[in-house]
Structure 1
Amino acid sequence: MDAVIETPWTVPAIKAALDQSPLVREGEMTLRVLEGADPVLLATMHEYGDLPVYLSVGGAQIVCSVLLWPVSEQADRHAFNEFLLKAQRVVPLSNFAITNVGGEDVYELMGELSCKTTLQTILIELRTLAENAIDATELRETFGAEAA
């Protein structure tokens, strides 16, 4: 099997392919395209407590991401951020970021893929990111979190 496809993916094409794929387990996820300037695929991962995973396509890459929790809720943010930079291997194949949502900084977990990768690899990324988001929550508890 080739490691890449000829035509780059688009968000609607990924949704259609996942909807038809026997690789997706029954009831594993619900997929919805969120229309905007650039469409985004919302994959609600039912096996991970209905965790929302967002997928977008831009340029030469596919970006999958999960919004975690507000930065303001993280106890000892400095120590936590330093830990994340030093211990990146704790959540393999994913990266931590801070993004602004509605005027508030939020921790985000993300993974990137080539826009010519296989559907199987996209599905693996969605599952891995969901699992890593659960693991990230355990990291948060290790460092404590202030009450919202």
Structure 2
Amino acid sequence: MSRWTTQELCTRLEAAFGADRVEEVPTVDGALQVTLPDCGDLGITIALTDRQVFVSTPLVEAERVADRAGFNEACLRLNPLNPLSNLGLTEINGRDTYIVFGELAPDSSAEQIELEVRTLAENAIDAIEALQTYLVHA
């Protein structure tokens, strides 16, 4: 079972990141959104389930990728270099979207979750910088 309720984790993360930077997101299992101003207001979503704490952020919508095959290969090569994070493809609001994500055990400490949030944000910024050459620039 999850160690955290959404409200308990929200309170703990508000202390770490600031009350105005953490908000609950209505989902079946419970989720939080942490906004990191020192990372360009990057939004990190934390979803709580009985089996894991899932931490993620969108990287780029797939339609903005000029060469999907090249981008996918670059993601696979970049993935082992990202500590504590993975790159993936999922659907958000009906659109294929590349994400950066990580998972933690449901009984992870608040410090471990905070570290995952910070590391994931850094890795997302590093990944988008490394993958710029594959993007369509409007």
| TM-score (norm: length of structure 1) | 0.84
Task: Note if contact 2:24-2:31 (Cα within 8 Å) is conserved in structure 1.
Answer: yes
Q: Give the structure 2 partner of residue 3 of structure 1.
A: none
Q: Number of residue pairs matched?
A: 138
Task: Note if contact 1:40-1:56 (Cα within 8 Å) is conserved in structure 2.
Answer: yes
Q: Quick check: 35-44 or 106-115, which moved more?
A: 35-44
Q: Give the structure 2 partner of residue 19 of structure 1.
A: 14
Structure 1 8/86 Cα, relative in aligned 2: closer, same or farther at 3 Å?
same
How far residue 74 of structure 1 moved from its aligned partner, in angstroms, is 1.1
> 3-state DSSP class of the match of 2:131?
helix
Residue ranges of structure 1 left out of the alignment (5+ in a row): 1-5
Task: Note if contact 2:58-2:100 (Cα within 8 Å) is conserved in structure 1.
Answer: yes
Q: Give the structure 2 partner of residue 44 of structure 1.
A: 35
Q: Give the structure 2 partner of residue 10 of structure 1.
A: 5
RMSD: 2.0
Match of 1:88 among 69, 74, 79: 79
> 3-state DSSP class of the match of 2:76?
helix
Give the 5 Å matches for 1:94-133: 94-133=85-124
| TM-score (norm: length of structure 2) | 0.89
Query: Would you tell me which structure has more helix in proportion to its own residues?
Result: 2
Deviation sequence 1:73-125 (CA, Å, 0-9, x none): 11211011112223322322101111111221010100100110111111000
Residue ranges of structure 2 left out of the alignment (5+ in a row): none
Counting aligned pairs with the same residue, the percent is 33
- Alpha-carbon distance between aligned partners in 2 of 1:134 and 1:68, rounded to the nearest angstrom: 8
Work out which of the two has the higher radius of gyration on C-alpha atoms and give 1 or 2. Answer: 1
**Does the alignment pair 1:145 with 2:113?**
no
Task: Note if contact 2:2-2:48 (Cα within 8 Å) is conserved in structure 1.
Answer: no
Q: Which amino acid aligns with 1:147?
A: H
How far residue 37 of structure 1 moved from its aligned partner, in angstroms, is 2.3
Q: Which amino acid aligns with 1:89?
A: P
Deviation sequence 1:11-33 (CA, Å, 0-9, x none): 2211112234xxx26x5971000
Q: Quick check: 43-52 or 11-20, which moved more?
A: 11-20
- After TM superposition, what 4+ stretches of structure 1 lie above 2 angstroms from structure 2? 36-39
Q: Which amino acid aligns with 2:5?
A: T
